Chains A and B, each alone.
Chain A
């Protein structure tokens, strides 16, 4: 039997939530972030997820004599938050890196939507993130994953031109049609870029349905899941299980048994002859079956699997256009502080909070949202952006005087 791969990739990201920033603060106060909330949430998720699951994964890698492998994509802003609020988490990721069984992926530094806004800004953020990951974990990323798995033919071509050979995206039904996500595909413009597609159904069995008692798959055991994998990969090459890392311990609580499930999974799958591979390995091991045509951007979010969670209404579009219109001005300041703040303002989460799709995916949206309404999110963001623009203008004026 040819090798059949199981490919785990976990997303690690924490946004910089803004504090309540009022009109009266514009021009008077440039502290934008709610440091307290950010710290509290980071500490909480570190205790419930990052620290225990990192320890668990380290243990699993050792116990299965390095046959268990995973990949992480950690946003630059999350790394910055670890440094600030939970340095021990960063140490535990370094310990995982040292096993050689963990691949770290490249993404945009600020978990931003730059790929659909501005190519130069996008490339710069990817470079900066790559540098950060290399300096932190000692390995230069070769696989790319874009914010929220956003992908299109054009984005893929840009990523390929930067030297990446593999990219992850969503196995969106409206793109695949009858095709299976369980093969390696290539970019439609540059066939050297290999694409790994998320198997949504089997990823969501773990990420969303695991603790749902009204789901007919409940309770999910490692053996049951291995059986499903077996039938899914009868004639196919790879099963790509992509999910938020916070699935373990945060979205699915420890009491749901998710840790025990994870712990038992390697043995159950290895027993059936599957191998665990990182994305870079999967892309090398398996022959691509076809180019994948994605003219319009897709993502892993919501039922639509498109950009509508971030750019779906007039509030989001206005905020998005206004922030990216500042790009050149910010660059000209050559002011590191302003450039960093500009990155923070690009975090996709700010736009996510302005989403008005309350009905179908509202539960997930409100879970992640610090604001009561999308309108408040918009007002607050625009106030911050207005102050930021004033500071940029003032800095440029100063530069001109010198």
Chain B
């Protein structure tokens, strides 16, 4: 299994999902070899073995460089589009380039590459290097199925498939459309589409995402299976936080980016505060829309009732949930959305957008369209003003969220593996 991050060092929901999923798979008698670009050594390996890609020497003596490159020719990074050359020159130029790349690959051969495992400037380079490790590991290990999570690892999955001939399952936790709206990064889109095409089966975390995969990437619906995420709260202690504010607290917690719809939260907050002064709003997280959000709150003149916490980690996230009376996730496009489940597990009534995958599995969350500021304001107002509905949403939500088990989801994933193997 190729992932990009794994608890405790995570920056998003992907690592947490991988953790729960691998545990669930272990309970379903599936052995998992989990590869990640940069492991720290403090990951929980009780149910799985972790391979740190930074420790792997690329390629192997079993195969010559040319043979290896022949199978994974997409690794040749570089542009084949050369305007204004005649076919002869073109052949000459491209063969020169091939030679150069083989030389370059030799240089990296038998070298370890130190991955950052982050999402920084060299992301593309890391993605390509990671796929070299993927190919290498496929030669060195025995396995039945390759499972790759999100576009960062698709190339590694493809490399492993081409080298080993084993079936590939790719798991779509998010697509470029969720992250950026319509302004997709074409390079990322191309990798995503390549992964989906090359895969024997595609798992999507919701029907919302399944539709995107089918419609925007043109993938055969037969191949695409939805397996909803679950949550694992087994290790969680109930955290009691000291409440400092007398008002009801309404929380947004997540990256402050286009995808998460922070502006709808702010506008709804303004509407609620016109009617009910006994409420405070908190926007927890960081992102490229943070400063704009702060300016908007100042413009609306509600900064004494609307707080920003910056990025929260670990215990502070728990604390934030414990202090919340309402949790809001107004995402514009959310493949799944784990955080409302965490809120519900803390007994917090939750409002989610209809444009989220998690809306497909929750009955006891209030659902509104992300753009419906009035609807969102209504729901918030109701939950902070009428104790009866807040109590019901809290209690029922708690029961509901505790029935979403990774063991069930993992059983479905195991079925997908089986189907992929039967295709061969």
Contact = CB atoms under 8 A, between A and B. Distances in A.
Is this pair of chains taken from one and the same complex? yes
Contacts of A25: 244
B295 A315 contact: yes
B298 A28 contact: no
Interface stretch (A140-148, A195-203, A269-277, A383-391): A383-391
7 contacts: A24-B244, A27-B245, A322-B304, A373-B291, A379-B310, A383-B307, A386-B245
Contacts of B303: 318-319, 322, 378, 382
Q: Which 7 A-B pairs have the closest CB atoms?
A: A27-B244, A318-B298, A28-B244, A314-B298, A23-B307, A26-B244, A23-B309
Interface residues of B, number: 27
A370 B308 CA distance: 19
Nearest to A378: B294
A28 B294 CA distance: 24
Interface of B: 241-246, 280, 282, 284, 290-291, 294-295, 297-299, 301, 303-305, 307-310, 316, 319, 323
Contacts of B301: 318, 321
A328 to B, nearest CB: 16
Contact of A375 (B291, B319, B323): B291
Most interface-central of A23, A315, A390 (chain B CB within 10 A): A23
Interface string A20-52: 001111111100000000000000000000000
Given A22-B309, A315-B295, A375-B294, A382 B304 contact: yes
B294 A24 contact: no
B294 A26 contact: no
A383 B310 CA distance: 12
Given A22-B309, A26-B307, A321-B301, 10 more contacts: A23-B282, A24-B323, A26-B244, A27-B244, A28-B242, A315-B294, A315-B298, A375-B290, A379-B294, A382-B307
Q: Is the interface of B mostly helix, strand, loop or mixed?
A: mixed
A378 B298 contact: yes
B309 A314 contact: no
Chain A CB within 10 A, most for which of B241, B304, B310, B316: B304
Main secondary structure of the interface of A (DSSP, over half): helix
Nearest to B308: A379
B295 A314 contact: yes
Interface residues of A, number: 27
B334 to A, nearest CB: 24
A212 interface: no
B132 to A, nearest CB: 38
A46 B284 CA distance: 40
Most chain A CB within a 10 A radius of its CB, from B280, B291, B294, B297: B294
Given A314-B298, A375-B291, A375-B294, A27 B307 contact: no
Interface string A340-365: 00000000000000000000000000
A103 B246 CA distance: 50
Contacts of B242: 28
A350 B284 CA distance: 23
A385 B299 contact: no
Contacts of A382: 303-304, 307
Contacts of B307: 23, 26, 379, 382-383, 386
Most buried by B among A26, A27, A375: A375
A317 interface: yes
B377 to A, nearest CB: 21
A387 to B, nearest CB: 8
A234 to B, nearest CB: 50
A342 to B, nearest CB: 15
Contacts of B241: 24
A382 B282 CA distance: 12
A343 to B, nearest CB: 19
A26 B243 CA distance: 9
A385 B294 contact: no
Contacts of A322: 303-304
Contacts of A29: 244
A31 to B, nearest CB: 13
Contacts of A26: 244-245, 307
Contacts of A383: 307
Contacts of B280: 386
A74 to B, nearest CB: 32
Contacts of B298: 314-315, 317-319, 378
Contacts of A379: 294, 307-308, 310
Contacts of B245: 26-27, 386, 390
Given A317-B298, A375-B294, A390-B245, A24 B304 contact: no
Interface string A87-104: 000000000000000000
Nearest to A376: B310
B325 to A, nearest CB: 14
A318 B298 CA distance: 6
Given A375-B291, A379-B307, A24 B299 contact: no
Select the residue from A27, A373, A382 with max chain B CB neighbours within 10 A: A382
B108 to A, nearest CB: 38
A67 B284 CA distance: 62
Contact of B246 (A23, A321, A378, A390): A390
A313 B304 CA distance: 17
Contacts of B294: 315, 375, 378-379
Interface string A281-315: 00000000000000000000000000000000111
A389 B304 contact: yes
B321 to A, nearest CB: 12
Nearest to B302: A318
Contacts of B323: 24
B148 to A, nearest CB: 38
Most buried by B among A24, A27, A379: A24
Contacts of A22: 309
Contacts of B297: 318
- Which among A28, A318, A389, A390 has the highest number of chain B CB atoms within 10 Å? A318
A385 B308 contact: no
Nearest to A26: B244
Nearest to B280: A386
A265 B391 CA distance: 77
Contacts of A321: 301
A390 B243 CA distance: 13
Contact of B304 (A315, A373, A385): A385
Contacts of A27: 243-246
B295 A24 contact: no
Nearest to B301: A318
Nearest to A27: B244
Contacts of A313: 295
Contacts of A23: 282, 284, 307-309
Contacts of A378: 294, 298, 303
Interface string A379-402: 100110111011000000000000
A387 B245 CA distance: 8
Contacts of B282: 23
Contacts of A314: 295, 298-299
A314 B295 CA distance: 7
Contacts of B284: 23
B187 to A, nearest CB: 31
A139 to B, nearest CB: 41
B185 to A, nearest CB: 27
B85 to A, nearest CB: 46
A315 B291 CA distance: 11
